[in-house]
Structure 1
Amino acid sequence: MYKFSFAVAVLLLNIGLLKAQPNPAIISWLQNTTTTGYYYMSGNPTPISHGILVNCQQVRYSANWVYVNATGIPSYNIGPYLDGNPNQAGNQNAIFRIPLNPTENTGAKTPTSGGNIGIFVNGVAMFDYRDGVAWNTTTNSFCGGPGNPPCPGGMAATQAWNRDAVVYERLGFDCSKGHPAGTNYHHHQNPSAFDLDLNVISNICNLYDADGLYAINPAQHSPLIGFAYDGFPVYGAYGYANIDGTGGIVRIKSGYQLRNITLRTHHADGTDVADGPAVSSTYPLGTFREDYEWVSHPNDPSYLDIHNGRFCVTPEYPNGTYCYFATVDNNHNSAYPYLVGPTYYGNKTASRVTAVNEPTTVYSPLSISENILPDLNIKIFPNPASDLVIIRAGGLNNQDIELQLFDIKGRLLQQTKMNKGQSICYFDVQSLYAGTYIIKLYNGVHTISHKVIIEK
């Protein structure tokens, strides 16, 4: 009853305030028409320009839809993919149509599927848990995906036991936890760099510097990082403890947990299915999506529902909305079901389209007025430094920021740029003398300064 009442209240408030505040599904996209990106090739630690525009190039909207033109390429460096993946991310030249007024699916919920299940605010594709590989219960071996025979019926998704991409494709994820399917670069999980996790489970960032869409900041509500294909927003890993926006900031937790099983004979709902492999060191719990069960936590609103979402207040939706979260565990490692799923809460109406066939208004980002640079929680480290100074933004950077390094006399020594959708940049200070230096960040209107010490 409470959930129904809250949903109705949210709907009425949003209808009443529709004209009073801009729709986040229109204004949250990271737009760019000038900056191109970089990628790494295996064995070469120097990023290479691919000449493709990054982020989103145009946003248009009508009464019911927003249309986003995007290349599918992020502004952070991508690659390499150390699992032998022969593909490189390419320009998707896509138009995504997202509903502005998403609605709950009151019938049978639609399962997420292989390929795009949503879009991040930088235009990069959002995938679900799967890697296209399943268990062939006839041959007792994997089927589908590269290097395996086809599954019976031709589709891995029709099988009883479906493999988890976040577990089995880890070697093939770049530092930003992404990789390409064909040329379609995508994330199955929280798009924050491996080396920012509290327990680092991949050394790829040691070899090829990169960052990610945002940096997890446990002290702040995570940013809105994308929209699912039912139109509801997707947030990062942290949010308000209570659905009304109170209780402080906490990690928002998946309601799924590994089942207490040793044999794979039934699904969590009790359905008798063809047997999968017994739980072992070769096929440990977590190998398959069906190894998980959802458990209700009625007394703790920081746990999510069976779709990996909840109704709640967020900074962008002060009157509340249904939203998903990119779930992580207490070490900030990705936690199943990672983003959205295994079913959508709402009606899946978004899609990739080839043209816009209705009158629309072009949305141009507003000029910068409020100084949000302090809110980026800029960290400069190490400080003191000797070889390299790293500048990292906490949360999601939605502005292009110029960075300048000055000596104590005010002479400009170096400059670089942190593009929107990036969270890290560097100054090489190996050739500088020991002393005090100033780093200035400028977003076109506002400036903040930080002092850094160079020691030799």
Structure 2
Amino acid sequence: MKIALVLLSVIGFTLPSLAHNGHHSHGPSSATATNEVEITTTSEKRIIESNGIPNHSTGQFPGRGNPHEISVQFVRYEIPLTPREADKPIDARGYALGVALNGVKIDVATAEFWNNQRGSIWNEEAIVNGKGRLGLDGNNAHVQPTGAYHYHGVPNGLIEELGGEGKMVQVGWAADGYPIYGPWAYSDPMDPNSEIVEMKPSYRLKTGTRPGGNTGPGGRYNGMYTADFEYAEGLGDLDESNGRIGITPEFPQGTYYYVLTNSFPYVPRYFHGIPDRSFRMHGGGDGGPHRGHPGMFGSAGRFGRPPPPPQFRR
């Protein structure tokens, strides 16, 4: 039996008019669509069903660096109510990290690779030195060829809607069931009365130069590729999964939680727990602004989307 937990359930926000660009999408144009998201619980899962439309203003799509139009998606995510901690961090590539409270997915990696060598370590970053690439807007988001609007970093518009600028605010749920927060948290993780500060990741640029020739792009490590970075335990506030254990406003007894940060990795690249299969990608990457259909996250939900074709079914 489901317990209704409707959150942000039909937010009356209309996106600015978007010109049609002729690309195939999986739902109607978002020119007049509003955010729809419903959260319910079962005995084991938190179910988030959404039309994928954000509840805040976006950049212009199609636009420079991203030729795709935002469209309604109709997706369903299943999140464990009781997270199971993994024996060691799990590489999150091939999954969506999670879903924001407005029903918009949070992606880990892009679909762009050096020399088009998909599956290599030379995966291009969507944000380099704090600046968005690949058509990202002010919310660190862009659009897949499917029409799916999605985040690659701090969702600034959502945080503003939640009134969370400079506050510790939950912005979503990860695929393994742990909560996701914006960049600010208590300076002492176990003291809710301590100062709220911006969290610092524990990653740094590698020194030296990349391999060249047929094995890599060459040149100095400058943040263009995920492999330009390395984890240095204790360097910042957060662990390898860009998270930590602590008290939060929603979890006064403490929990493990993830943090979206304003410097690399921006979005966690490893899961602390076991991710649900509904966040699994079919094809890898986020589809990218210039890629073909990467497959769907989630499954058809209550908003009426027909099932995906067989090759994309879970």
Query: How many pairs are equivalent?
Result: 267
SS of 1:344's partner is strand
Offset from partner CA, 1:291-342 (integer Å, 9 cap, x none): 11111118xxx610001111111010011111000112xxxxxx1111221x
- In structure 2, relative to structure 1, the CA distance for the partners of 1:258 and 1:29 (3 Å cut) is farther
Note the C-alpha offset of 1:49: 7.0
The structure whose residues are more often helix, as a share, is 1
Task: Within 5 Å, give how 1:52-63 maps onto structure 2.
Answer: 52-56=33-37, 58-63=38-43
- Supply the distance in 2 between the matched residues of 1:274 and 1:306 (Cα, whole angstroms): 30
Report what 1:234 is aligned to: 180
Note the C-alpha offset of 1:110: 2.6
Report what 1:172 is aligned to: 135
Task: Within 5 Å, give how 1:172-251 maps onto structure 2.
Answer: 172-182=135-145, 183-192=147-156, 213-214=161-162, 217-218=165-166, 220=167, 222-246=168-192, 247-251=194-198
TM-score (norm 2): 0.76
SS of 1:96's partner is strand
Note the C-alpha offset of 1:216: 5.6
- Supply the distance in 1 between the matched residues of 2:214 and 2:264 (Cα, whole angstroms): 23
Report what 1:321 is aligned to: 255
Q: 1:64 aligns with which of 3, 19, 44?
A: 44
Report which of the two structures shows the higher radius of gyration computed on alpha carbons.
1
Runs of 4+ in 1 over 4 A off after TM superposition: 210-216
Gaps of 5+ in 2: 20-28, 279-297, 303-314
Gaps of 5+ in 1: 1-22, 43-47, 136-141, 144-150, 194-209, 266-272, 329-334, 357-456
Judge conservation of contact 1:127–1:188 (CA < 8 Å) in 2: yes
Q: Are 2:232 and 1:295 equivalent residues in the alignment? A: yes
- In structure 2, relative to structure 1, the CA distance for the partners of 1:295 and 1:216 (3 Å cut) is farther
- Supply the distance in 2 between the matched residues of 1:293 and 1:92 (Cα, whole angstroms): 35
- In structure 2, relative to structure 1, the CA distance for the partners of 1:274 and 1:308 (3 Å cut) is farther
Task: Within 5 Å, give how 1:38-437 maps onto structure 2.
Answer: 38-41=15-18, 50-56=31-37, 58-81=38-61, 82-106=63-87, 109-114=89-94, 116-128=96-108, 130-135=109-114, 142-143=115-116, 151=117, 156=118, 158-167=119-128, 170=133, 172-182=135-145, 183-192=147-156, 213-214=161-162, 217-218=165-166, 220=167, 222-246=168-192, 247-264=194-211, 275-280=215-220, 285-297=222-234, 303-328=237-262, 335-341=263-269, 343-349=270-276, 351=278, 352-354=298-300
Structure with higher RCO (Cα < 8 A, 6+ apart) = 2
SS of 1:110's partner is strand
- Supply the distance in 2 between the matched residues of 1:190 and 1:290 (Cα, whole angstroms): 21
Offset from partner CA, 1:367-416 (integer Å, 9 cap, x none): xxxxxxxxxxxxxxxxxxxxxxxxxxxxxxxxxxxxxxxxxxxxxxxxxx
Report what 1:447 is aligned to: none
- In structure 2, relative to structure 1, the CA distance for the partners of 1:216 and 1:355 (3 Å cut) is closer
Alignment-mate amino acid for residue 164 of structure 1: E
- Supply the distance in 2 between the matched residues of 1:306 and 1:49 (Cα, whole angstroms): 37
Offset from partner CA, 1:234-287 (integer Å, 9 cap, x none): 00011011221253211111111111122337xxxxxxx97322225xxx5101
| Structure 1 vs Structure 2 CA RMSD | 2.9
- Supply the distance in 2 between the matched residues of 1:229 and 1:49 (Cα, whole angstroms): 26
- In structure 2, relative to structure 1, the CA distance for the partners of 1:215 and 1:262 (3 Å cut) is farther
The structure whose residues are more often strand, as a share, is 1
